[in-house]
Structure 1
Amino acid sequence: MSLATLLVLADGRFPAGGHAHSGGAEAACKAGRIHDAETLAEFCRGRLHTAGLVAAALAAAAALGTDPADLDEAADARTPSPALRAAARRLGRQLMRAARATWPGPELDALAAAFPRGAHQPVVLGVTARSAGLGPLDAAHVAAYESVSGPATATVRLLGLDPFEASRVLAGLAPELDSVSRRAERAAQRARTDGTHTCLLFTSAAAAYLRLGDFCGWRVRLEKEA
């Protein structure tokens, strides 16, 4: 594992389009659920242990070499909202373009050919990590971090929240990010032998996704495709 490579993939400036998606934070701000650093921390913690955990497990499994088609099907099953499934595939398509330019390889080419409209973003992330020489725990860490860094960045823009406060929220979540990433890697390892549908994590993210899905049709500046 190259730490420098991991930093490149996790960098918010990597041109994968994730910076343009608020991860539900815009809807939460409009609904009054996020209005300061404390409520942002609550939102991010909930997202990390639900949507972030599921995404991290999918990314780790893809980095292990689990069949991406099986993982994409599993991702669909874990994303009840049609609008969020479409958003996940759009983000996957954007990540694929950046990944193939940065770490070209046959596995990314095969995934792009199999899913011309885009595979789910965590699946693409895991295959990208694998192509870059990273391992499943690395992929899990990136996915988990993205699940909270996106909302934190969006809240700075949406509410004018002090960016130092947003950074403090992310730093405070670091131990939980590590714990979620390790749990996701263990689930991915089990999925290799026992099957993706039985072993990849399915948490209360389903309920969270359904709630957030109610807002996905809104015309919001942060959720548009780059």
Structure 2
Amino acid sequence: MTGFHSGLAVLALADARFPNGGHVHSGGVEEAAASGLVSDVGQLREFLFGRLRSAGAVAAVFAAAAAHAAAAGHRADWLALDGELDARTPSPAQREASRAQGRGLIRAGRAAWQAPALTDLLAATGRPHHPIVLGVLTAASGAGVWEAALVAGYQSVSGPSSAAVRLLGLDPFAVNAVLVELTADLDDIADAAAATAHLPPSDLPAPGSPALDLLAEAHDRHHREEVRLFAS
């Protein structure tokens, strides 16, 4: 039954209904839509593919590394992991969004699981990034590094896809079909993240996306000037 329980926990973490606050973040889609960069399903497909292969890959890597550290008891890694993810997130707006979502996930995760490593993470970092919290909770649920990476990668595209439906009135069936098209890419990212989860934090992969950084900063500026539907 252990495998069933951990599998159910992974599904709960990936579920959009899990109350971690992710529903208020669009992952750049709101600014992309406002700028005319994403207006239909085809353009959304390209956006999500790029996001998965950049921000999604980084999130998967750090979620897997955090799950590995939590399972192995390597609690001295928390500050290093948090700092290295900061270094791979050049946009201050994206760093803030990640930490805000991490805070929401901590509240929800504490209600669902006993996770001593989470206490150590908070003591070391104060306000950790979302992928690191996700990795710790995945380990607490009994699941492994691959599952942590899979959930992180999935969330990097599932949230933006839902935001696109709300913002642009896109056909939800067509948008969900786009997510299914990304299955092989998501598996590849989870495989790669799991394979590097044991590395020192400074040696973890660092794919980047300057376009997403610019969108995040533009959204943050516009959000201060006018009401936006999403926080990021």
Structure 1-normalised TM-score?
0.92
Partner residue, 1:114 = 124
**RMSD (CA atoms):** 1.4
What is the percentage of aligned positions where both structures have the same residue? Answer: 46
Question: Is the 8 Å Cα contact of residues 96 and 112 (structure 1) preserved in structure 2?
Answer: no
Instruction: Give distance in 2, aligned partners of 1:147 and 1:57.
Output: 12
Instruction: Give distance in 1, aligned partners of 2:213 and 2:26.
Output: 16
Following TM superposition, by how much is the alpha carbon of 1:166 offset from its aligned partner in structure 2, in angstroms? 1.0
Instruction: Report the AA paired with residue 181 of structure 2.
Output: G
Partner residue, 1:89 = 99
Following TM superposition, by how much is the alpha carbon of 1:49 offset from its aligned partner in structure 2, in angstroms? 0.3
Instruction: Give distance in 2, aligned partners of 1:209 and 1:196.
Output: 23
Following TM superposition, by how much is the alpha carbon of 1:149 offset from its aligned partner in structure 2, in angstroms? 0.4
Instruction: Report the AA paired with residue 222 of structure 2.
Output: W
Pick one of 223, 227, 230 that aligns with 1:222.
230
Partner residue, 2:25 = 21
Instruction: Report the AA paired with residue 223 of structure 1.
Output: A
Deviations 1:121-143 (A, max 9, x none): 11111011111111000000000
Partner residue, 1:210 = 213
Pick one of 171, 180, 185 that aligns with 2:189.
180
Q: Residues 188 and 93 (structure 1 numbering): CA distance in 2 closer, same or farther, change over 3 Å? A: same
Instruction: Give distance in 1, aligned partners of 2:57 and 2:211.
Output: 12
Question: Is the 8 Å Cα contact of residues 80 and 209 (structure 1) preserved in structure 2?
Answer: no
Runs (4+) of structure 1 exceeding 6 A deviation are none
Instruction: Give distance in 1, aligned partners of 2:38 and 2:152.
Output: 22
Q: How many residues align?
A: 217
For the residue of structure 1 that corresponds to 2:213, the secondary structure is helix
Question: Is the 8 Å Cα contact of residues 26 and 158 (structure 1) preserved in structure 2?
Answer: yes
Instruction: Report the AA paired with residue 214 of structure 1.
Output: E
> Which ranges of structure 2 fall in alignment gaps of 5 or more residues?
none
Deviations 1:131-186 (A, max 9, x none): 11110000000000000001100000000111111101101111111111111111
Instruction: Give distance in 2, aligned partners of 1:201 and 1:209.
Output: 18
Instruction: Give distance in 2, aligned partners of 1:4 and 1:121.
Output: 20
Instruction: Give distance in 2, aligned partners of 1:221 and 1:175.
Output: 31
